[in-house]
Structure 1
Amino acid sequence: METRVAIIGIIVENTDSVDKLNGILHNYGKYIIGRMGLPYREKGIHIISLAIDAPQDITSALSGKLGKLPGVSAKTVYSKLKGKTEDEV
């Protein structure tokens, strides 16, 4: 199956959703390349940048689940580079 590298930008405005957000990210951990979180205290929000390498349907599912959490917004940007899963190499 083809994979694509993508960045998911996440804005957390409701800290009550953080435990569920972290649970979702844990479930998708095998696809996550890296994660960076920045608290923006002046605005009372948290900004998370998530780099992943996964099949497009997995990436879409992850982004959708995150975006459905109360007070959480998520948007995805895909690279043009396509690859194969480790099972196919």
Structure 2
Amino acid sequence: MESRIAVMAIIVENTDSAAALNALLHEYGSYIFGRMGIPCRERGVNVVSVAIDAPQDTISALAGKIGNLDGISVKTAYSNVTHAAAD
């Protein structure tokens, strides 16, 4: 299976869902090679960016699970570069 590089932009509007988000990111941690969280206290939201190297199905599954969390939205940008995924 081919692996791709992607970046997920995550907006957390409901901090009650942050623990569930962190649990998902931990679950997929073997694919994640970068993560940055920025609190925007003035607006009461947090912005998280996640860099991931995984098969497209795995990236889509994670994005879907994140998008189903209450008060959290996610958008994913994919690189066109692919490579053979490590087993």
TM range (shorter): over 0.9
Q: RMSD in angstroms over aligned alpha carbons?
A: 0.6
* AA aligned opposite 2:9: G
Q: Quote the Cα distance in structure 1 between the aligned partners of 2:50 and 2:83.
A: 19
* AA aligned opposite 2:81: L
5+ residue gaps, structure 2: none
Q: Quote the Cα distance in structure 2 between the aligned partners of 1:24 and 1:54.
A: 15
Q: Quote the Cα distance in structure 2 between the aligned partners of 1:65 and 1:86.
A: 23
SS of 1:70's equivalent in the other structure is: coil
Tell me which residue corresponds to 1:58: 58
- Poorly superposed stretches of 4+, deviation over 4 Å: none
Give the alignment's TM-score, normalised by structure 2: 0.98
Q: Quote the Cα distance in structure 1 between the aligned partners of 2:45 and 2:9.
A: 13
SS of 1:18's equivalent in the other structure is: helix
Q: Quote the Cα distance in structure 2 between the aligned partners of 1:11 and 1:45.
A: 7
Tell me which residue corresponds to 2:80: 80
Residues 27-76 of structure 1, C-alpha deviations (whole Å, 9 max, x = no match)? 00000011000000110000000000000000000001001000000010
Aligned length: 87
Give the alignment's TM-score, normalised by structure 1: 0.96
SS of 1:86's equivalent in the other structure is: coil
2:6 pairs with 1:6: yes
Q: Quote the Cα distance in structure 1 between the aligned partners of 2:70 and 2:86.
A: 35
* AA aligned opposite 1:32: I
Q: Percent identity?
A: 57
2:48 pairs with 1:48: yes
